[in-house]
Amino acid sequence: MTTKTPAISIVVPVFNLEDYVTVALDSILAQENYSDFEILVIDDHSTDNTLAVINGYAQKDARIKVLANQRKKGVAGARNTGFDHAQGDWIAFLDADDTWETNNLSSLSSALNEYPDADIIISDRYEIVNQGDKELLSETDPVWHKYFNAANKTGALLRLDNPVRIFFEEGVLMRTGTCLIRKALVGRVGYCDEELKAAVDMSWFFKLAAHVDYMVYVPRPLMTYLHRSGSLTRTIPFGFYGVIAYKKMLRSPEFKLYKNHIRQQVALWSLDKTYFYRKNNNKLKAIHAAFEAVLFDFTKPEHWKNLLASLLLR
């Protein structure tokens, strides 16, 4: 007897989140009007009780498969482990400290009725910031507001053509937890960059966008993203990995039309590094980052002022 392949493989990387992962998994299992999925929970060599917690869930629901990395590979490596084992035609993501609305999968998958050839479906999302304040991304992010506010008001699906151009010129219109991606597209584009410890999503989303003519937006918030003070992006200069990601894009033939935009981004993310190092009184690293900002975009007076401020740092 053959086993039916699940339509959607949900990849959930987790590291030392025993107090959060239960809520994330519960939100997946609570999906209404859609049950054709598998959940691949990748334990990235946790040192707390996370593995025991997720194994307990797997014992209760056969759709949950636990994959344990034998060494810590980071979020990119954990997701790649999920890719290797995904059986579905589509891939979705949920970080272990985030949650889905109960209509997430049914809403994303139903968009294919109108756009059966789409490779990427996205949606709006809530974000929890400032000790519990809940915000709507399309209301707080100016680029998301510009492109999606009208669709949110009408409730109609939105086709977004040439997304890679928009990503480079204005901002990335994808977020982890809010997208459904055809597995065949992942096969063409390749996996996440394991050299990156942050900016993983951004780097990969650019590659996905470069290989599609359009993506489809579902005009409703379908997940909640939690900003945690202890997360990786809060304890390192985020720009460090942003610079690495954009420099790789600069060398990639698929992004050759956007070299000027990429150079500007390298400069901006170098500026982010500089602020971090100046705040922490690391003069040499601040100077190096500030010089790089000037090197990649010497037209901005702010970059020169920041270099001078770094040189004068005591």
**Per-residue pLDDT tens digits for 111-127:** 999 999 999 999 999 99
Decide: 10 and 39 in contact? Cβ < 8 Å: yes
Average pLDDT, the chain: 93
Read off the pLDDT of each residue in 130-141 and give the average, rounded to a whole number: 88
- Residue 89: which residues within 8 A CB-CB, separation 6 or more? 5, 7, 8, 182, 183, 184
What pLDDT, on a 0 to 100 scale, did the predictor assign at position 172?
95
Phi, psi of 200 (to 5 degrees): -65, -50
CA distance 83 to 39: 12
CA distance 136 to 129: 11
What pLDDT, on a 0 to 100 scale, did the predictor assign at position 212?
98
Q: What is the pLDDT of residues 38-57, one digit of tens each?
A: 999 999 999 999 999 999 99
Where in the chain is CATH 3.90.550.10?
Answer: 8-233
167 pLDDT band, cuts 50/70/90, is very high
Q: What is the pLDDT of residues 252-275, one digit of tens each?
A: 999 999 999 999 999 999 999 999
Read off the pLDDT of each residue in 21-29 and give the average, rounded to a whole number: 97
- Fill in the amino acid letter for 282: N
- Residue 2: which residues within 8 A CB-CB, separation 6 or more? none
What pLDDT, on a 0 to 100 scale, did the predictor assign at position 233?
46
- Beta partners for residue 37, in sequence order: 8
Decide: 272 and 245 in contact? Cβ < 8 Å: no
Residue 2 has pLDDT above 60, yes or no: no
Residue 226 or residue 55, greater confidence? 55
What pLDDT, on a 0 to 100 scale, did the predictor assign at position 146?
97
Which helix H or strand E contains 146, and what residues bound it?
helix 142-154
- Beta partners for residue 122, in sequence order: 179, 217
Q: What is the pLDDT of residues 88-113, one digit of tens each?
A: 999 999 999 999 999 999 999 999 99
Q: Is 202 exposed, middle or buried (0-12, 13-18, 19+ CB in 10 A)?
A: buried
How crowded is residue 149: how many other Cβ atoms within 10 Å of its Cβ?
Answer: 13
197 pLDDT band, cuts 50/70/90, is confident
3 pLDDT band, cuts 50/70/90, is low
Sign of CA dihedral 27, 182, 4, 95: negative
Q: How many CA atoms lie within 13 A of 31 on its CB side?
A: 23
221 pLDDT band, cuts 50/70/90, is very high
129 pLDDT band, cuts 50/70/90, is confident
Read off the pLDDT of each residue in 11-19 and give the average, rounded to a whole number: 96
Which helix H or strand E contains 107, and what residues bound it?
helix 104-110
- Fill in the amino acid letter for 18: E
Q: Specify the pTM.
A: 0.92
CATH no. of 8-233: 3.90.550.10
- Residue 251: which residues within 8 A CB-CB, separation 6 or more? none
Residue 277 or residue 230, greater confidence? 277
The mean-pLDDT minimum among 60-74, 170-184, 231-245 falls in 231-245
What pLDDT, on a 0 to 100 scale, did the predictor assign at position 1?
45
What pLDDT, on a 0 to 100 scale, did the predictor assign at position 125?
97
